A and B are shown apart, each in its own frame.
Chain A
Amino acid sequence: MKLLRKTGNRKHVLLLCLIPIFLSGCWDRAEVNDLAIVSGMGINKTDEGDIKLSVQIINPKAIGGQGNSGGGQSGGNPVTVETAVGKTIFDARSKLQEQFSRKLFEGHNRVVIIGKSLAEAGIRKHIDFFARFPNPRLRANVFFTDGKASKILKVIPNLEVDSAEVARELAQLQIGMNVTIKDLLQQMASESGDVALPRISVNKGKLGEGLRVNGTAIFKKDQLVGQIDDKVTRGLLWLIDQIQLSTVTIKPKDAKGYISFKLLRSSTELKPKIKNGTWTMTVNITTEDDVAENETKLDMMDPKVTKKLEKQLEKRIDKRIEMTLDKVQKGMEADVFNFAEAFHRTYPNQWKKAKNKWEEKFPELEINIQSTAKIRRPGRSTGPQGVPPDKEEQK
Chain B
Amino acid sequence: MWRKWRKKEKKNKQSTLKQSNQEQEPLYNNITDNENQLRSIYENCSDVIVHPFTIGGKHQAILLYIDGLSNTEEIDDSVLSPLMKATDSDQEQQVDTLIKNTVAVADTNEATTFSDCVQAVSAGKPVVLADNSSTGFSLGLSKWEKRSVESPDAEKVIRGPREGFVETLTVNTSMLRRKIRSPKLKMQSMEIGHYTKTSVSIAYVEGLVDKTLIEEVTNRLNRIDVDGVLESGVIEEFIEDDPSSPFPQTLATERPDTVTANLLEGRVSILVDGTPFSLVVPTTLYSLLQSNEDYYRRYIMATATRWLRYLFLVMSLLFPALYVAVLTYHQEMIPTSLLISMAASREQVPFPALVEVLIMEITFEALREAGVRLPKQVGSAVSIVGALVIGEAAVSAGIVSAPMVIVVAITGIASFTIPRYSVAFTIRMLRFPMIFLSGTLGLLGIMLGIIIIIVHLATLRSFGVPYLSPMAPMHFSEIKDVLVRSPWWKLNKRPRLTGKYDKYRQSSGQKPGPIRGKE
Direct A–B contact in complex, judged by CB atoms less than 8 Å apart: yes
Residues on A close to B: CB < 8 A?
A: 22, 25-26, 28-33, 35, 37, 39, 58, 60-61, 63-65, 67-71, 105, 107-108, 110, 135, 137, 161, 165
Q: CA–CA, A70 to B393, complex, Å?
A: 11
**Could you tell me the distance in whole angstroms from the C-beta of A277 to the nearest C-beta in chain B?**
52
Whether the pair B336, A31 counts as a contact (CB closer than 8 A) is: no
A68-B345, A70-B348, A71-B347 are known contacts. Are A60 and B332 too (CB-CB below 8 A)? no
Does the CB pair B344–A61 fall under 8 Å?
yes
Determine whether the beta carbon of A22 is less than 8 Å from that of B327: no
| Stretch in B156-164, B279-287, B288-296, B438-446 with 4+ CB within 8 Å of A | B438-446
Interchain CB contact under 8 A, A68 and B402? yes
0 or 1 for each of B336-360: is its CB under 8 Å from A? (1 = yes): 1001111111111100110000000
Residue with the highest number of chain B CB atoms closer than 10 Å, among A26, A58, A137:
A26
Instruction: Determine the residue in chain A with the shortest Cβ distance to B341.
Output: A64
Is there contact, CB below 8 Å, between A64 and B343?
Answer: yes
Q: In the complex the two chains form, is B328's CB within 8 Å of A30's CB?
A: yes
Known A31-B353, A35-B343; further 6 A-B contacts with Cβ < 8 A: A22-B437, A22-B441, A26-B439, A31-B328, A68-B347, A108-B336
15 contacts between A and B (CB under 8 A): A22-B436, A25-B439, A25-B440, A29-B442, A30-B331, A33-B346, A35-B331, A37-B336, A60-B343, A61-B347, A65-B341, A67-B345, A68-B347, A70-B397, A108-B331
Using a CB–CB distance below 8 Å, which chain B residues touch chain A?
Answer: 327-329, 331-332, 336, 339-349, 352-353, 395-398, 401-402, 436-437, 439-442
What 5 pairs between A and B have smallest CB-CB spacing?
Answer: A107-B332, A64-B344, A25-B440, A64-B341, A60-B343
By beta carbon, the residue of chain B nearest A2 is B1
In angstroms, Cα B339 to Cα A110, docked, is: 14
Partner of A63, one of B332, B344, B348, B353: B344
CB distance from B336 to the nearest CB of A (A): 5
Q: Chain B's nearest CB lies how many Å from the CB of A53?
A: 20
Distance in Å from the Cβ of A207 to the closest Cβ of chain B?
23
Q: Is the CB of A60 within 8 A of B344?
A: yes
Give the docked Cα–Cα distance between A165 and B352 (Å): 29
A195 to chain B, nearest CB (A): 26
- Contact between A32 and B348, CB atoms less than 8 A apart: no
CB B391 to nearest CB in A, in angstroms, measures 13
* B344:A39 contact, CB within 8 angstroms: no
Q: Is A107 touching B331 in the complex (CB atoms < 8 A)?
A: yes
A residues near B441, Cβ cutoff 8 Å: 22, 25
Contact indicator A28/B345 (Cβ below 8 Å): no
Let me know if B439 and A32 touch, CB within 8 A.
Answer: no
Task: State in angstroms the CA–CA spacing of A60 and B336 once bound together.
Answer: 11
Which chain A residues lie closer than 8 Å to B396 at the CB level? 69-70
CA distance A30 to B342 in the complex (A): 14
Residues of B within 8 A of A31 (CB): 327-328, 346, 352-353
With A67-B402, A70-B397, A108-B332 in contact, do A32 and B339 touch (Cβ < 8 Å)?
yes
Q: Is A60's CB under 8 angstroms from B347's CB?
A: yes
Nearest CB in chain A: distance from B184 CB, A: 43
Return chain A residues, CB-CB under 8 Å to B342: 32, 64
When distances are taken between beta carbons in the complex, the residues of chain B under 8 Å from A68 are 344-345, 347-348, 395, 401-402
Q: Say whether, besides A64-B344, A70-B348, A71-B347, A37 and B339 are in contact (CB < 8 Å).
A: yes
Q: Are B440 and A26 in contact (CB under 8 A)?
A: yes
Contacts of B332 in A (CB 8 A): 105, 107-108, 135, 137
Cβ-closest chain B residue relative to A29: B328
Residues on B with beta carbons closer than 8 Å to the beta carbon of A33 = 343, 346-347, 349
Report how far A70 CA is from B345 CA in the complex, Å.
9
- Contact A29 B329, beta carbon cutoff 8 Å: yes
**A286–B441 alpha-carbon span in the complex (Å):** 53
Q: Which has the most chain A C-beta neighbours within 10 Å: B328, B329, B437?
A: B328
Do the beta carbons of A32 and B346 come within 8 Å of each other?
Answer: yes
Find chain B residues with CB under 8 A from A165 CB.
336
Roughly how many angstroms separate A161 CA and B340 CA in the complex, as a whole number? 11
Chain A residues near B395 (CB-CB < 8 A)? 68
Nearest-CB distance from B194 to chain A (Å)? Answer: 29
A58–B347 CB distance below 8 A: no
Contact A29 B344, beta carbon cutoff 8 Å: no
CA–CA, A69 to B396, complex, Å?
6
Task: Tell me whether B398 and A70 are in contact (CB under 8 A).
Answer: yes
A64 touches B440 (CB 8 A): no
Q: Which residues of B are found within 8 Å of A32, using beta-carbon distances?
A: 327-328, 331, 339, 342-343, 346, 353
Shortest distance between the CB of A105 and any CB in chain B (Å): 6
Chain A hits for B347, CB < 8 A: 33, 60-61, 65, 68, 71
By a CB distance below 8 angstroms, the chain B residues around A30 are 328-329, 331
Complex CA gap A71/B437 in Å reads 31
Known: A26-B439, A30-B331. A108 touches B348 (CB 8 A): no
Min CB distance A384 to B, Å, is 45
Which B residue sits closest to A106, measured CB to CB?
A: B332
Q: How far is the CB of A35 from chain B (nearest CB, A)?
A: 6
Complex CA gap A312/B402 in Å reads 60
Give A43 to B339 CA distance when docked, in angstroms: 25
B439 with A63: CB separation less than 8 A: no
Q: B442 contacts A37, CB within 8 Å?
A: no
CA A304 to CA B437, docked complex, whole Å? 72
Chain A residues within an 8 Å CB radius of B397:
70
Which B residues lie within 8 Å of A28 (CB)? Answer: 329, 442
For B327, list chain A residues within 8 Å (CB).
31-32
Task: Give the most central of B343, B346, B352, B353: most A CB within 10 Å.
Answer: B343
CA distance A30 to B328 in the complex (A): 5
Complex-state Cα separation, A385 to B496, whole angstroms: 74
**Chain A residue with the shortest CB-CB distance to B342:** A32
Q: Do residues A71 and B331 form an inter-chain contact, with CB atoms below 8 A?
A: no
Q: How far is the CB of A17 from chain B (nearest CB, A)?
A: 16
CB of B106, distance to nearest CB on chain A (Å): 55
A64 to B346, CA, bound (A): 10
- Do residues A108 and B339 form an inter-chain contact, with CB atoms below 8 A? yes
CA distance A71 to B442 in the complex (A): 28
- Please, how many angstroms separate the alpha-carbon atoms of A25 and B345 in the complex? 26
Contact across chains for B402 and A29 when beta carbons are under 8 A apart: no
- Verify A63–B402 contact, CB threshold 8 A: no
On chain A, the residues within 8 Å of B348 by CB distance are 68, 70-71
Given known A32-B327, A32-B331, contact A37–B343 (CB-CB < 8 A): yes
**Chain A residue contacts of B331, Cβ below 8 A:** 30, 32, 35, 37, 105, 107-108
Q: How far is the CA of A71 from the CA of B398 in the complex (A)?
A: 8
Chain A residues within an 8 Å CB radius of B352: 29, 31
Q: Which residues of A contact B339 (CB under 8 A)?
A: 32, 37, 108
- Return B288 CB to nearest CB of chain A, in Å: 26
